[in-house]
Protein backbone atom coordinates (compact mmCIF):
# COMPACT_ATOMS: atom_id res chain seq x y z
CA UNK A 1 0.00 0.00 0.00
CA UNK A 2 1.37 3.34 -0.99
CA UNK A 3 0.68 6.60 0.90
CA UNK A 4 0.92 9.98 -0.78
CA UNK A 5 3.61 12.03 0.89
CA UNK A 6 4.80 15.56 0.38
CA UNK A 7 8.43 15.73 -0.57
CA UNK A 8 10.67 18.41 1.00
CA UNK A 9 11.04 20.44 -2.22
CA UNK A 10 7.40 20.13 -3.25
CA UNK A 11 4.97 23.05 -2.78
CA UNK A 12 1.30 22.51 -2.10
CA UNK A 13 -1.27 24.89 -3.49
CA UNK A 14 -3.67 26.22 -0.87
CA UNK A 15 -7.27 25.41 -1.60
CA UNK A 16 -9.40 28.46 -2.13
CA UNK A 17 -12.90 28.36 -0.75
CA UNK A 18 -15.70 28.79 -3.25
CA UNK A 19 -18.48 28.60 -0.65
CA UNK A 20 -20.67 31.68 -0.53
CA UNK A 21 -22.55 32.89 2.52
CA UNK A 22 -26.25 32.18 2.81
CA UNK A 23 -28.70 34.96 2.19
CA UNK A 24 -31.12 35.56 5.03
CA UNK A 25 -34.60 34.62 3.91
CA UNK A 26 -37.78 33.50 5.60
CA UNK A 27 -38.19 29.75 6.07
CA UNK A 28 -40.70 27.84 4.01
CA UNK A 29 -44.03 27.34 5.76
CA UNK A 30 -46.05 24.17 6.15
CA UNK A 31 -48.83 23.74 3.60
CA UNK A 32 -51.43 24.07 6.34
CA UNK A 33 -50.26 27.59 7.31
CA UNK A 34 -51.93 29.98 4.90
CA UNK A 35 -53.42 33.44 5.47
CA UNK A 36 -56.78 33.08 7.19
CA UNK A 37 -56.00 29.79 8.94
CA UNK A 38 -57.09 29.58 12.56
CA UNK A 39 -54.08 28.44 14.61
CA UNK A 40 -53.62 27.44 18.25
CA UNK A 41 -50.48 28.82 19.96
CA UNK A 42 -48.72 26.24 22.14
CA UNK A 43 -46.54 28.61 24.15
CA UNK A 44 -46.64 32.08 25.56
CA UNK A 45 -49.21 34.26 27.19
CA UNK A 46 -51.99 33.32 24.76
CA UNK A 47 -51.41 29.54 24.57
CA UNK A 48 -54.52 27.56 23.83
CA UNK A 49 -56.46 30.44 22.29
CA UNK A 50 -57.75 30.34 18.73
CA UNK A 51 -56.07 33.08 16.68
CA UNK A 52 -56.12 34.00 12.99
CA UNK A 53 -52.92 33.92 10.95
CA UNK A 54 -52.58 36.92 8.62
CA UNK A 55 -49.21 36.45 6.89
CA UNK A 56 -45.59 35.43 7.25
CA UNK A 57 -43.22 38.28 8.07
CA UNK A 58 -40.53 38.53 5.39
CA UNK A 59 -37.46 39.24 7.53
CA UNK A 60 -37.87 36.91 10.53
CA UNK A 61 -40.18 34.33 8.96
CA UNK A 62 -42.53 34.46 11.95
CA UNK A 63 -46.31 34.45 11.61
CA UNK A 64 -48.35 37.61 12.06
CA UNK A 65 -51.43 36.60 14.06
CA UNK A 66 -54.30 38.36 15.79
CA UNK A 67 -57.25 37.30 17.93
CA UNK A 68 -59.16 39.48 16.79
CA UNK A 69 -58.61 41.51 19.94
CA UNK A 70 -62.31 42.25 20.37
CA UNK A 71 -63.19 38.54 20.50
CA UNK A 72 -60.46 36.94 22.60
CA UNK A 73 -58.03 39.65 23.72
CA UNK A 74 -55.11 38.57 21.50
CA UNK A 75 -53.47 41.63 19.87
CA UNK A 76 -51.32 41.65 16.73
CA UNK A 77 -48.49 39.27 17.62
CA UNK A 78 -45.56 37.49 16.03
CA UNK A 79 -45.63 33.74 16.55
CA UNK A 80 -43.13 31.06 15.69
CA UNK A 81 -44.55 28.68 13.09
CA UNK A 82 -43.21 25.69 15.02
CA UNK A 83 -45.13 26.73 18.11
CA UNK A 84 -48.63 26.70 16.62
CA UNK A 85 -51.08 23.99 15.60
CA UNK A 86 -52.82 24.77 12.32
CA UNK A 87 -56.51 23.89 12.29
CA UNK A 88 -58.63 23.15 9.24
CA UNK A 89 -60.78 26.20 10.02
CA UNK A 90 -60.38 29.20 7.70
CA UNK A 91 -61.49 32.82 7.99
CA UNK A 92 -61.80 35.29 5.12
CA UNK A 93 -58.91 37.75 5.60
CA UNK A 94 -58.69 39.22 2.10
CA UNK A 95 -59.50 42.71 3.42
CA UNK A 96 -57.32 42.30 6.51
CA UNK A 97 -54.22 41.37 4.47
CA UNK A 98 -54.33 44.81 2.84
CA UNK A 99 -54.51 46.44 6.30
CA UNK A 100 -51.64 44.24 7.57
CA UNK A 101 -49.43 44.91 4.53
CA UNK A 102 -47.46 47.69 6.24
CA UNK A 103 -46.84 45.64 9.41
CA UNK A 104 -43.35 44.14 9.53
CA UNK A 105 -40.75 43.16 12.13
CA UNK A 106 -39.84 46.81 12.80
CA UNK A 107 -43.45 47.39 13.91
CA UNK A 108 -42.76 45.18 16.95
CA UNK A 109 -39.42 46.77 17.92
CA UNK A 110 -39.34 48.18 21.42
CA UNK A 111 -37.98 51.65 22.11
CA UNK A 112 -34.85 51.44 24.22
CA UNK A 113 -34.60 53.77 27.22
CA UNK A 114 -31.32 54.79 28.76
CA UNK A 115 -30.53 53.78 32.34
CA UNK A 116 -32.37 55.42 35.22
CA UNK A 117 -30.61 58.63 36.19
CA UNK A 118 -32.25 59.67 39.46
CA UNK A 119 -35.06 58.91 41.94
CA UNK A 120 -37.76 60.61 39.85
CA UNK A 121 -37.16 58.04 37.11
CA UNK A 122 -38.10 55.22 39.50
CA UNK A 123 -41.54 56.76 40.03
CA UNK A 124 -42.09 57.10 36.29
CA UNK A 125 -40.97 53.48 35.76
CA UNK A 126 -43.96 52.20 37.74
CA UNK A 127 -46.39 53.78 35.28
CA UNK A 128 -46.82 51.05 32.66
CA UNK A 129 -46.61 52.23 29.08
CA UNK A 130 -49.51 50.98 26.96
CA UNK A 131 -49.55 50.34 23.23
CA UNK A 132 -48.70 53.28 21.00
CA UNK A 133 -51.28 55.09 18.90
CA UNK A 134 -49.90 53.46 15.74
CA UNK A 135 -50.40 49.99 17.23
CA UNK A 136 -53.94 50.80 18.33
CA UNK A 137 -54.76 52.13 14.88
CA UNK A 138 -53.28 49.07 13.13
CA UNK A 139 -55.12 46.72 15.52
CA UNK A 140 -58.43 48.48 14.90
CA UNK A 141 -57.96 48.37 11.12
CA UNK A 142 -57.10 44.67 11.06
CA UNK A 143 -59.83 43.69 13.53
CA UNK A 144 -62.57 45.52 11.65
CA UNK A 145 -61.51 43.85 8.40
CA UNK A 146 -61.49 40.36 9.97
CA UNK A 147 -64.79 40.84 11.81
CA UNK A 148 -66.38 41.98 8.54
CA UNK A 149 -65.40 38.60 7.05
CA UNK A 150 -66.89 36.61 9.96
CA UNK A 151 -70.65 36.45 9.56
CA UNK A 152 -71.34 33.28 11.56
CA UNK A 153 -71.93 33.81 15.32
CA UNK A 154 -70.67 30.27 15.97
CA UNK A 155 -67.30 31.21 14.41
CA UNK A 156 -67.09 34.23 16.73
CA UNK A 157 -67.76 31.97 19.71
CA UNK A 158 -65.15 29.48 18.44
CA UNK A 159 -62.49 32.21 18.16
CA UNK A 160 -63.35 33.35 21.70
CA UNK A 161 -62.93 29.85 23.14
CA UNK A 162 -59.78 28.15 24.40
CA UNK A 163 -58.39 24.79 23.36
CA UNK A 164 -57.55 22.31 26.13
CA UNK A 165 -57.06 18.59 26.53
CA UNK A 166 -58.56 16.34 29.19
CA UNK A 167 -57.19 13.01 30.44
CA UNK A 168 -59.07 10.88 27.93
CA UNK A 169 -58.15 13.02 24.87
CA UNK A 170 -55.59 11.61 22.44
CA UNK A 171 -54.02 14.49 20.49
CA UNK A 172 -52.22 12.17 18.07
CA UNK A 173 -55.62 10.89 16.91
CA UNK A 174 -57.30 14.29 16.65
CA UNK A 175 -58.02 16.13 13.44
CA UNK A 176 -57.59 19.84 14.01
Eight-state DSSP code of residue 91: -
**Cα–Cα distance for residue pair 79/85, rounded to 1 Å:** 11
Split the chain (176 residues) into runs of 10 and give each run's mean pLDDT.
70 72 80 95 94 92 92 94 94 89 86 62 63 87 93 93 91 86
**Among 165, 161, 109, which Cα is nearest to 134's?**
109
Question: For residue 78, what is the enclosing H or E element?
Answer: strand 77-79
pLDDT tens digit sequence for 46-58 = 999 999 999 999 8
Secondary structure (DSSP) of 135-153: HHHHHHHHHHHHHHH---H
What structural domains does the chain harbor? 28-107+133-160 (2.30.30.30)
The proportion of the chain whose per-residue pLDDT surpasses 70, expressed as a percent, equals: 85
User: What share of residues in the chain are helix, strand, coil (percent, to 5)?
Assistant: 30, 15, 55
Amino acid sequence: MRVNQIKPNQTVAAKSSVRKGKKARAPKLRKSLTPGTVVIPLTGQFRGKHVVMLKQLSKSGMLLCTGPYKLNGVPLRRMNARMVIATSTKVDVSKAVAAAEKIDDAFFARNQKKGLQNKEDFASKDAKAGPSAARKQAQAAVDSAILAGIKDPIMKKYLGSKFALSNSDKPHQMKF
